[in-house]
């Protein structure tokens, strides 16, 4: 199984790239545990990932940073828009701190954003600078 490994606040965080489990949206809506919610951000169903990241951002604003950044580097723009709408100015600063700890990972995420824009969203957003995930991380 492929894993993502990053540093956050001096500690190694490792999580699976994707998980395949029979969890339902209703199950995730009742979760309050950080470990379970963070794992659900890696679920194969985008709707489950979205519910999980919303709860994670609200319940664990700082600890959610690696998971929301990973989702910004994926192809589901609807999740990008939800994340962008929830991020506080303090969390935006934390994302910058996160990238300072993970320069190579930052390049990977930014590269994926450009790649997904080019493959899936280029006709909706003619200019890369208008693509929400790119714009958000460029501000």
Model confidence, pTM: 0.96
Q: What is the DSSP string of the chain?
A: --EEEEEETTEEEEEES-B-----HHHHHH---HHHHHHHTTBSSHHHHHHHHHHHHHH-TTTTHHHHHHHHTSS-HHHHHHHHHH--HHHHHHHHHHHHH-HHHHHHHHHHHHHHIIIIITTTSSSGGGSHHHHHHH-
- pLDDT tens for 43-86 read 999 999 999 999 999 999 999 999 999 999 999 999 999 999 99
**pLDDT over threshold 80, residue 97:** yes
Per-residue pLDDT at 110: 98
């Amino acid at each position: 199984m492929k894993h993502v490994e990053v540093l956050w606040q001096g500690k190694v965080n490792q999580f699976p790239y994707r998980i395949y489990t029979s969890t339902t949206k209703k199950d995730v809506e009742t979760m309050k545990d950080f470990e379970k919610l963070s794992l659900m951000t890696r679920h194969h169903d985008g709707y489950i990932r979205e519910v999980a990241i919303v709860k994670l951002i609200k319940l664990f604003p700082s600890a959610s940073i690696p998971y929301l950044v990973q989702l910004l580097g994926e192809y589901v723009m609807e999740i990008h828009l939800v994340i962008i709408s929830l991020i506080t100015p303090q969390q935006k600063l934390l994302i910058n701190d996160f990238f300072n700890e993970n320069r190579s990972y930052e390049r990977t995420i930014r590269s994926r954003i450009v790649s997904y824009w080019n493959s899936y969203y280029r006709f909706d957003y003619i200019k890369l600078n208008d693509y929400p995930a790119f714009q958000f991380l460029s501000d």
